[in-house]
């Protein structure tokens, strides 16, 4: 049996999709366990670019079962659109299954996400406005609607009517928004339910049986450690648990069944949305990294904030996820700079620390401590082995391993699935 989990170690967009697609080749099933269509996972295969938001990034591998787990929040219109887009590109989606326990993103979730962000004003989180937070709030508040409800007309109609009683009051009276029409929501969503019914299943038993039968199961993380509701830079986080522990609750798998955890990172750091970012380069250097790495959001198209790689963060991510391997991307990108800075610790009140603080006030008092490295301006996009990398690249990568205490197993030198060095 081999179960592998792939998680983000920074603020998302580390290149998880590329590695999921690659690791899916020798997996039997691929399971998304958290988040929703706030995620944007890019895969470039044979020159064709795919941007997946909900469907597991294993879908391009023929014959692999792809599962959307119970921990995911599903916008049915987005899911149907993504299925169609893949089908139009000749990708078969009959191997896709959606957990009957996954919660459904409703129009009032999207509307409330937008209204809440507007009302936060200067304190806005910079959400993707996809309704993620309000949907997870309903899940914990116990008023959510699940996929099993969406495909059961009687239950669905009741739940929408019940929900809209309070949601419309909040939309209108609290936020001054335009209330939603129950009949319209119901007829739109019942149609989605009819179209998606064939995909909805009790996937937990499939995942469990696969593990029992010694199959290879790959768990696909979305978002990342520092967007985690518990371990991220709260409140500038998402509303789910993207850390490896999220597999237990988001796919229904006991911790003893998790064998390997890959932590994906970029050779620098990026962030979309608001919140602290100690090594951010809000200057020409940040602009240069953004252009070299083409750092624009896969989901919202927003320019990503860019800065140096922060190993205090990666060390913390190694701990909370139990990382067994690092998978680093954009080694080609960072090497184009003549000088690279690597944050190896923080300085707070004159003292060096490698602990990532919980309080944002304390985090603001932390100054990154940098080590300087020389770039490797030559083109490494076709390099196939660690030994063939320029010495300066090896030095940079070895220092990362040394400080984090976890071995690098995968090195990304370009966007294509083949542009990966397996160490």
SS3 percent helix, strand, coil of the chain, rounded to 5, is 40, 25, 40
Cα(235)–Cα(229) distance, rounded to whole angstroms?
A: 8
- Residue 344's beta-bridge partner residues? none
Judged by CB under 6 A, which of 4, 7, 10, 18 binds ligand GDP?
18
Gap between the Cα atoms of 284 and 267, Å rounded = 18
Which residue reads 């008092």 in tokens? Answer: 365
As to burial, measured by CB atoms within 10 angstroms (0-12 exposed, 13-18 middle, 19+ buried), residue 255 is exposed
Instruction: Specify whether 139 is catalytic.
Output: yes
Q: Binding site annotation covers 300? A: yes
CB of 19 to ligand IMO, least distance (A): 12
Q: 72 touches which of ligand IMO, Mg ion, ligand GDP, none (CB within 5 to 8 A by kind)?
A: none
DSSP symbol at 35? B
Tell me, by CB under 6 A, how many residues bind ligand IMO.
24
| 37 binds ligand IMO, rule: CB under 6 A | no
Does residue number 14 form part of the binding site for ligand GDP (CB under 6 A)? yes
303 has which bridge partners? 296
Interface stretch with ligand IMO, choices 43-51, 69-77, 217-225, 368-376 (CB under 6 A): 217-225
Contact 240, 229 (CB under 8 A): yes
CB of 340 to ligand GDP, least distance (A): 15
Does 278 contact Mg ion by CB under 5 A?
no
Measured from the Cβ of residue 410, the count of other Cβ atoms closer than 10 Å reads 21
Other CB atoms within 10 Å distance of the CB of residue 247: 29
40 forms part of the interface with Mg ion (CB under 5 A): yes
CA-nearest of 105, 88, 91 to 56 is 91
Query: By the 8 A CB rule, do 39 and 254 touch?
Result: no
Rule CB under 6 A: say whether 128 interacts with ligand IMO.
Answer: yes
Q: What's the alpha-carbon Rg for the chain, to the nearest Å? A: 21
The footprint of ligand IMO on residues 245-274 (CB under 6 A) is 272-273
Task: Using the rule CB under 6 A, give the single segment among 62-70, 130-138, 278-286, 341-349 that binds ligand IMO.
Answer: 130-138
Please report whether residue 6 would count as binding ligand IMO according to CB under 6 A: no
45 forms part of the interface with ligand GDP (CB under 6 A): no
**Does the protein bind ligand IMO through residue 58 (CB under 6 A)?**
no
Which residues in the 274-313 window bind ligand IMO by CB under 6 A? 298
Is residue 223 a contact point for Mg ion (CB under 5 A)? no
Query: Which of 40, 193, 250, 307 is close enough to bind ligand GDP by CB under 6 A?
Result: 40
Written in H, E and C, the secondary structure of 154-199 is: HHHHHHHHHHHHHHHHHHHHHCCCCCCCHHHHHHHHHHHHHHHHHH
* Upper half-sphere CA count for residue 407 (Cβ side, 13 Å): 6
Question: Under a CB-based contact definition with an 8 Å cutoff, are residues 44 and 347 in contact?
Answer: no
Tell me if the bond preceding 323 is cis, omega within 30° of 0.
no
Q: Which stretch binds ligand IMO (CB under 6 A): 65-73, 81-89, 220-228, 345-353?
A: 220-228
In the residue annotation, 41 being an active-site residue is answered as yes
Q: Tell me, yes or no, if 25 is annotated catalytic.
A: no
Nearer residue to Mg ion within complex by CB, 298 or 324: 298
Residue 130 binds ligand IMO (CB under 6 A): yes
> In terms of CB distance, is 223 or 420 closer to Mg ion?
223
| Per annotation, catalytic residue among 109, 139, 266, 415 | 139
Cβ 324 to ligand GDP shortest distance, Å: 19
DSSP letter (8 states) at residue 12: S
Closest by alpha carbon to 297, among 11, 6, 9?
11
Cis ω before 320 (30° cut-off from 0): no
Query: Which among ligand GDP, ligand IMO, Mg ion, none contacts residue 223 (Cβ within 5 to 8 A by kind)?
Result: ligand IMO
Among 116, 127, 233, 279, binds ligand IMO (CB under 6 A): 127
Shortest Å, Cβ 39 to ligand IMO = 3
| 32 near ligand GDP (CB under 6 A) | no
In the bound state with ligand GDP, the residue whose beta carbon lies nearer, of 48 and 256, is: 48
315 is an annotated ligand-binding site residue: no
Tell how strand 325-329 and strand 305-310 pair up.
unpaired
Query: Which is it for strands 41-45 and 48-52: parallel, antiparallel or unpaired?
Result: antiparallel
Annotated binding site: 12-18, 38-42, 128, 142, 223, 238, 298-304, 330-332, 412-414
Q: Which residues bind ligand GDP (CB under 6 A)?
A: 8, 12-18, 40-42, 44, 298, 329-330, 332-333, 412-415
List, by residue number, the catalytic residues: 13, 41, 139
């Amino acid at each position: 049996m081999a179960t592998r989990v792939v998680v983000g170690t920074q603020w998302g967009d580390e290149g998880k999709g590329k590695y999921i697609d690659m690791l899916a080749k020798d997996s039997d099933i691929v399971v998304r366990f958290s988040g929703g269509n706030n995620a944007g996972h890019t895969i470039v295969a044979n020159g064709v670019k795919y941007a997946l938001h909900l469907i597991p990034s294993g879908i391009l591998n023929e014959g692999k079962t792809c599962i959307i787990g119970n921990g995911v929040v599903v916008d049915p219109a987005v899911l149907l659109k993504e299925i169609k887009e893949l089908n139009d590109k000749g990708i078969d989606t009959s191997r896709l299954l959606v957990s009957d326990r996954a919660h459904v993103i409703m129009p009032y979730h999207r509307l409330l996400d937008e209204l809440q962000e507007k009302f936060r004003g200067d304190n806005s989180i910079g959400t993707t406005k996809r309704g993620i937070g309000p949907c997870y709030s309903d899940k914990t508040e116990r008023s959510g609607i699940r996929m099993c409800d969406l495909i059961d007309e009687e239950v669905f109609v009741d739940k929408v009517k019940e929900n809209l009683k309070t949601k419309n009051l909040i939309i209108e009276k609290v936020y001054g928004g335009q209330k939603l029409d129950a009949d319209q929501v119901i007829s739109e969503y019942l149609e989605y339910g009819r179209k998606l019914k064939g995909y909805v299943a009790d996937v937990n038993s499939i995942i469990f049986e696969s593990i029992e039968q010694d199959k290879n199961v790959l768990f696909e993380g979305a978002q990342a450690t520092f967007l985690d509701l518990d371990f991220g830079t709260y409140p500038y986080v998402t509303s789910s648990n993207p850390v490896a522990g999220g597999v237990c609750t988001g796919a229904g798998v006991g911790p003893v069944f998790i064998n390997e955890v890959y932590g994906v990172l970029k050779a620098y750091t990026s962030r979309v949305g608001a919140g602290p970012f100690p090594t951010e380069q809000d200057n020409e250097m940040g602009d240069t990294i953004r252009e070299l790495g083409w750092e624009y959001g896969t989901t919202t198209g927003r320019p990503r904030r860019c800065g140096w790689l922060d190993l205090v963060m990666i060390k913390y991510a190694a701990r909370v996820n139990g990382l067994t391997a690092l998978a680093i991307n954009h080694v080609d990108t960072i090497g184009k700079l003549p000088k690279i800075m690597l944050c190896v610790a923080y300085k707070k009140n004159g003292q060096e620390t490698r602990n990532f603080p919980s309080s944002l006030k304390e985090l603001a008092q932390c100054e990154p401590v940098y080590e300087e490295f020389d770039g490797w301006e030559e083109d490494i996009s076709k390099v196939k082995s660690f030994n063939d990398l320029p010495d300066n690249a090896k030095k940079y990568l070895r220092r990362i391993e040394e400080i984090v205490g976890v071995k690098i197993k995968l090195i990304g030198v370009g966007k294509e699935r083949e542009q990966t060095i397996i160490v």
